[in-house]
Chains A and B, each alone.
Chain A
Amino acid sequence: MEATKERHGWKWLLCTPALIVLVLAASGPLMIVLIYSFLTPGNMGGVNWEFTTEAWFRVFWRRDIFDPDQVTWNEAHLTVFWRSISLSLQTTLLCAFLGFPTAWFIATRPPNSRAIWLFMITIPFWTNLLIRTFAIQELIRNNGTINALLLQTGVINQPIQIMYTDFAVLLGMAYVFLPLMVLPLYAAMDKLDFRLVEAGYDLYASRIKVLWYVILPLVKPGFIAGSILVFIPAIGAYVTPRVLGGGRTMMLGNLIALQFGQGRNWPLGAALAMLLLIIVVTALVLYLRWVNREEVRRG
């Protein structure tokens, strides 16, 4: 008994330096955010150490300036929540629509060229997110490549306003997060037993039926993993909506940041950050439970 304890002690000792940094610069500050969400905002940012649930109240509702008992929905916040969720789901769907055929394409290449195609998906993923967002901005801004081409060829007389719309944010996020959908889908398809697909065709199934009843159920784990991997960074996106969406099409991440800038309401920002964290953790927990169920079901 004494000996095993000794060995565990060594393991902990080896992990301690990393854990200290992680607790100091990752987990610890997160706890402070939770505490701050129950405090009163200071005049110039910061907080006063008085307990209140007002910040959490203000996440969803607001009080009339003259009559604090008059409570209405905080529509500005609800609009941002709805946009965040809706845009993240749309991004996931768009990535799935483009990612599924792409992953299938890679999985059905000859084995020796698969690595190259896969590498081509991975490269953009490792290049700077800001630069990729910038690349999209260059394409879609009013005097950007797309508008200039359309103007030159006479298709349009005035530049189309794409920047600073929800569509621009959707486009940017789909562009930036697409590899996160393709990679798990590919991993699932790589393990796909093509004899089952063949069996489907031998039993007179059409291509659509094989796709729907044979292929999709088999690659479903990859689909779900990809959706989670796209949805989570999308719901927490900050850079892409800031650059492509501007002030009018804020997402949750920008609303949080605003409270620490011009908003000067740190507790509200902290409460909103906690809300975002709750959404992300819920999505992760649902995913993990689904994985466990699936594992039990398949044995």
Chain B
Amino acid sequence: MAEVTAGTERALRGGSDAARPARRRNYSVRRLPGFGVIAIFTFVMLYLPIVILVAYSFNEGVSQARWEGFSLQWYEAAFNNRQVRDVSVRSLWLAVTASGIATLLATLAALGTTRTSRFPGQTMIYALINQPLMVPEVVTGIALLIFVAAIKVQTGYTGMGYLVAAHTAFCIPFAYLPIRARLETMDITLEKAAADLYASPFQAFRYITLPLLVPGIVAGFMLGFVISLDTVVITEFVKSAGQDTLPTYMLGQLRRTVTPEMNAIATLFLALSLMIVTAFFLITRKRGV
């Protein structure tokens, strides 16, 4: 049946311009019937839940379905909620610290593993760096829980160190990716030119490589920051009492009856992520130009 239709259409087209059917409006080779509808449906479904979430954060009432007028009361409630302030500050501090350390370590590792011939152990280094990407988060989570429990018994230390270490390890592969990508596309002749002009290896690195690497490092830091901010499973298992981050706090709250205060918190969180991701794209896109 479909064959007949295609054949008829083709017959109707005539032979003269059959050489360039792609240009033809009524028979584009790029068109597949129904695909556009599903695609638009998918885009709508992708954004509708988020849009509704954001919209009802401004609702006057408690309902998630009835609009009762615009209000900022839930934002006010969130700002006045001491616990929310505490967990937000902890989340941001943790993200900056973990991503900062991870970026530094990832930069060193990227300098060691790119622009070189293969060396013994390189595969193992790649495997170790990428391991957090492959192992399910819940497995990493319970692994750290066991490990941390053992250290706590031995040392009695219950500070933020565990969370910083866990987040740093998890951020390293994410920070490593853009830095490595940046290094690989870098023009190596610039460093050779510096060396020709009697720059010491350190000078060449300090005045040539490092400035060129900055966009990659910034991108790596931002990616790590977002990842750390989003990490919920690992934090949930590693945290000691009173070390809730914003995601684990939200996870705990979702069990109870949720008020639009949670929508307000989620909206602010979304806005922050969105800003960082947009900035990330702008920075990495410049690289191509």
Give me the interface of A with B, judged by CB distance under 8 Å: 7-8, 10-15, 17-19, 21-30, 32-33, 36, 46, 97-102, 104-106, 108, 119-124, 126-132, 134-139, 143-145, 147-149, 152, 175, 178, 194, 197-198, 201-202, 204-209, 211, 232-233, 235-236, 238-239, 242-243, 253, 256-257, 260, 266, 269-270, 273, 276-277, 280-281, 284
Contact = CB atoms under 8 A, between A and B. Distances in A.
A176 B2 CA distance: 36
Interface in B47-96: 47, 49-50, 52-53, 56, 63-66
Given A101-B39, A276-B138, 15 more contacts: A10-B112, A12-B112, A13-B112, A30-B135, A32-B150, A129-B230, A129-B232, A132-B49, A139-B49, A144-B64, A148-B66, A198-B21, A207-B32, A238-B136, A273-B142
A276 to B, nearest CB: 6
Interface residues of B, number: 99
A98 B42 contact: yes
B212 interface: no
B210 to A, nearest CB: 14
Interface stretch (B101-109, B185-193, B213-221): B101-109
A134 B262 contact: yes
The binding surface of chain A is classed by DSSP as helix
B127 to A, nearest CB: 9
The binding surface of chain B is classed by DSSP as helix
Contacts of A28: 147
Contacts of A33: 139, 142-143, 146
A30 B143 contact: yes
Nearest to A129: B230
Contacts of B22: 194, 198
Contacts of A201: 6, 10, 21, 27, 29
B53 A138 contact: yes
Contacts of B50: 124, 127, 131-132, 135
A32 B30 contact: no
18 contacts: A7-B116, A12-B121, A22-B129, A22-B172, A33-B139, A101-B36, A124-B47, A134-B250, A134-B254, A143-B65, A148-B66, A194-B22, A233-B136, A243-B251, A273-B138, A273-B142, A276-B139, A280-B135
Contacts of B168: 21, 25
Given A11-B119, A15-B125, A136 B142 contact: no
A101 B135 contact: no
B131 A101 contact: no
A269 B145 CA distance: 12
B39 A102 contact: yes
Interface of B: 2-3, 5-7, 10, 18, 21-22, 27, 29-43, 45-47, 49-50, 52-53, 56, 63-66, 101-102, 104-106, 108-109, 111-113, 116, 119-121, 125, 128-129, 131-132, 134-147, 149-150, 165-166, 168-170, 172, 176, 226, 229-230, 232-233, 237, 247, 250-251, 254, 258, 262-263, 266, 269-270, 273-274, 277, 281
B38 A102 contact: yes
Nearest to B48: A139
A229 B232 CA distance: 20
Contacts of B229: 128
A36 B2 contact: no
B33 A207 contact: yes
A131 B237 CA distance: 19
A276 B136 contact: yes
- Top 7 closest A-B pairs, CB basis? A236-B136, A148-B65, A14-B112, A105-B39, A29-B143, A25-B169, A206-B2
A14 B29 contact: no
Given A21-B165, A152-B65, A204-B7, A131 B21 contact: no
A206 B139 contact: no
Nearest to B122: A11
A28 B132 CA distance: 12
A23 B270 CA distance: 32
A11 B169 contact: no
Contacts of A135: 49-50, 52-53, 266
Nearest to A244: B254
Contacts of B176: 18
A256 B142 contact: yes
A207 B27 CA distance: 11
A229 B270 CA distance: 24
A239 B233 contact: yes
B142 A19 contact: no
B65 A11 contact: no
Nearest to B18: A202
A20 B52 CA distance: 44
Contacts of A122: 277, 281
A128 B91 CA distance: 13
B138 A204 contact: no
Contact of A21 (B125, B172, B226): B172
B224 to A, nearest CB: 12
Nearest to B30: A108
Given A21-B168, A105-B39, A148 B29 contact: no
